Amino acid sequence: MDLLVRAWPLLEEAVPMTLFLGLSSFCLGSLLGLGVAFLRLSTARGLRWLAFAYVSIFRGTPLLVQILLIYFGLPRLGLALDPLPSAIAALTLFSAAYLSENFRAGILSVDKGQWEAADSLGMDRRRAITRIILPQALRIALPPLGSRLIALMKDTSLASAITVVEVTRVAEQVGAASFRYLEMFLIAGAIYWIINQLLTVVQMLVEQHLSKHLA
């Protein structure tokens, strides 16, 4: 308990930073991932292959390597980013690769008759997607999207590798100062667990709301 009291002033800043990293990267990754999903479904072969290459690279390489490449590698190309923007950029690019597959699966799960119905009403492709296809696809994709957010919240711990002061970084600092690594990392693990349990509850409430609304 005394260790938690000792670490609390640092955790008061680290917990909001963890939430900011996870939520901002998820929102940005969702926008990018949705765009990549539509590229994967494009009729243009070049765009499909470009999107496929993006997904393949960012899903096929470790997130930690991506963070280190952006933070330490980009300055060699003349683009230096501070630790926080570097972490957000890496988390966004990484999450977008996975989210794009969730969105693509959701879009493909929408019955083809919905496209035909939109066409019979005289809707162009953009209006059909925004008004008919996408709302249904998002409802289908909601469970995996929620799981991706929870996974991304845990992935924020890797930002400590480039000195972003989030929960894991505080655990390392306090553990090193007190030589009580076990207790401090147990506290950090408990914080991540509480955050993700709250996110799970929110996801369940949203799913229940949508189920009642569309029943």
Query: What is the arithmetic mean of pLDDT over 134-161?
Result: 91
pLDDT at 150 over 90: yes
Are 40 and 55 spatial neighbours (Cβ–Cβ below 8 Å)? yes
Query: What is the arithmetic mean of pLDDT over 47-52?
Result: 95
| Dihedral Cα 191, 68, 48, 122, nearest 10 deg | 40
pLDDT at 183 over 80: yes
pLDDT at 80 over 60: yes
Query: What is the arithmetic mean of pLDDT over 63-71?
Result: 96
Query: What is the arithmetic mean of pLDDT over 111-127?
Result: 75
Dihedral (CA of 139, 141, 147, 151) sign: negative
pLDDT at 53 over 70: yes
Domain spans of the chain, in order of start: 2-214
Query: What is the arithmetic mean of pLDDT over 187-212?
Result: 89
Looking at residue 212, its pLDDT comes to 67
Q: What is the mean pLDDT of the chain?
A: 90
Residues of the chain with pLDDT > 70, as a percent, come to 98
Whole-prediction pTM value? 0.91
Query: What is the arithmetic mean of pLDDT over 127-150?
Result: 86
pLDDT at 123 over 90: no
The whole-angstrom separation of Cα 132 and Cα 73 is 43
Per-residue pLDDT band for 21 (boundaries 50, 70, 90) equals: very high
The CA distances from residue 8 to 21, 66, 131, 153, 167, in Å, are 19, 31, 47, 20, 11
Are 166 and 157 spatial neighbours (Cβ–Cβ below 8 Å)? yes
Domain 2-214: top CATH class: mainly alpha
Are 137 and 110 spatial neighbours (Cβ–Cβ below 8 Å)? yes
pLDDT at 152 over 90: yes
User: Which of 137, 134, 132 lies closest to 109, judged by CA?
Assistant: 137
Q: Which residues contact 77 (CB under 8 A, 6 or more apart)?
A: none
The whole-angstrom separation of Cα 87 and Cα 164 is 8
Q: Which residues contact 201 (CB under 8 A, 6 or more apart)?
A: none
pLDDT at 87 over 90: yes
Tell me phi and psi for residue 157, to 5 degrees: -60, -25
The full 3-state SS of 89-115, as one line of letters, equals: HHHHHHHHHHHHHHHHHHHHHCCHHHH
